Amino acid sequence: ELKVEQNPLFLSMQEGKNYTIYCNYSTTSDRLYWYRQDPGKSLESLFVLLSNGAVKQEGRLMASLDTKARLSTLHITAAVHDLSATYFCAGTFRGSEKLVFGKGMKLTVNP
C-alpha cells in the first residue's frame, strides 16, 4: 500500500523561528507536491518537485526532494503568523495520476 507520512502532525512555533517538516513516502515517486490549506478553504499549490535534488523556494518556504531517501522537506524560515495553516504533501506514484496525500501538518505561528 502506498503511504505518505508527514511529521510532525502539529507544530506550534514562535514568529521569527526556523523549522523543517518532513514527508516520507513508501515507494518511488513520480512527482511530489506541497499544498497549503486554510481552515474551511481549498488547497493552494505551493510546490511541485519532479526530480532528485530539486529545490524550490517561495518567500519563507523552501521545499526539497531526495528521491533516494524517499523524503521531501519543507523548510520554514523566520516564520510569520500568516504562515499558520495546514500543510499537506502528496505524491503521484507508478505512473498513476492520483495524488496520495499525507495527513497534513497543522502549523500555528504565535506572534
Partner 1 sequence: NAGVMQNPRHLVRRRGQEARLRCSPMKGHSHVYWYRQLPEEGLKFMVYLQKENIIDESGMPKERFSAEFPKEGPSILRIQQVVRGDSAAYFCASSSRGGAAGSYEQYFGPGTRLTVT
Q: Interface residues with partner 1 (CB under 8 A)?
A: 4, 31, 33, 35, 41-45, 48, 50, 88, 90, 92, 96-104
Q: Minimum Å distance from CB 56 to partner 1?
A: 11
Q: What is the CA radius of gyration of the chain?
A: 13
Compare residues 7 and 18 and give the one whose CB is closer to partner 1: 7
- We find the least distance from the C-beta atom of residue 67 to partner 1, in angstroms, to be 16
Q: Assign 5 to helix, strand or coil.
A: strand
CB of 60 to partner 1, least distance (A): 22
Least distance (Å) between residue 92 CB and partner 1: 7
CB 6 within 8 A of CB 23: yes
For residue 105, give the H/E element and its range: strand 105-110
- Whichever of 71 and 80 has its CB closer to partner 1, that residue is 71
| Amino acid letter for position 31 | R
Of 23 and 83, which CB lies nearer to partner 1 in the complex structure? 23
For residues 55-94, one letter each, b for 16 or more C-beta atoms within 10 angstroms of the residue's C-beta and e for the rest, the string is: eeeeeebbbbbebeebebbbebeebeeebbbbbbbbbbbe
Q: Which is nearer to partner 1, 79 or 90 (CB)?
A: 90
